[in-house]
Amino acid sequence: MRYIILLLLSLHILHSDASYNRGETLFFAKACTSCHGAAAEGSTTYPKLANKKEMYLLKKLYYFKKGDVLTVSQQMMAQFIHKLSEQNIKDLAHFLATHKRVEIDDVADDILGGFGS
């Protein structure tokens, strides 16, 4: 019985890591960083997404996908989200909810603001 529990736990962790990696790829590939920041930290105009509750993020992303929007910013989000599959949305929400902050020391030194020098 103990081995079955360990096996199931291992499979869950592997699935979780794969979902996180797919969500991370989507976050950067869809240029989410241009509004929400490289660490999903948000700004004065756009909300922080990192480490929000996964169910909250899923709910918001599904609203955007359905087109339930009230503001210009939300309309812009709907345009980005409407082409994503259900699995993409789940992966993106999982990535944001379990976001692991990556420290990048030399960004301030880079005159163009890019990653790495």
For 108, how many CA atoms within 13 A lie in the half-sphere containing its CB? 2
DSSP state of 113: -
Report the predicted TM-score, pTM, of the whole model to 2 decimal places. Answer: 0.71
Predicted confidence at residue 82, as pLDDT, reads: 87
Residues 64-95: tens digit of each pLDDT = 999 888 888 888 888 888 889 999 999 999 99
Which H or E run contains 66?
A: helix 54-66
Domains of the chain are: 18-97 (1.10.760.10)
Query: Is pLDDT above 80 for 105?
Result: no
Max Cα-Cα span within the chain = 57
Burial label for 99, CB within 10 Å (0-12, 13-18, 19+), is buried
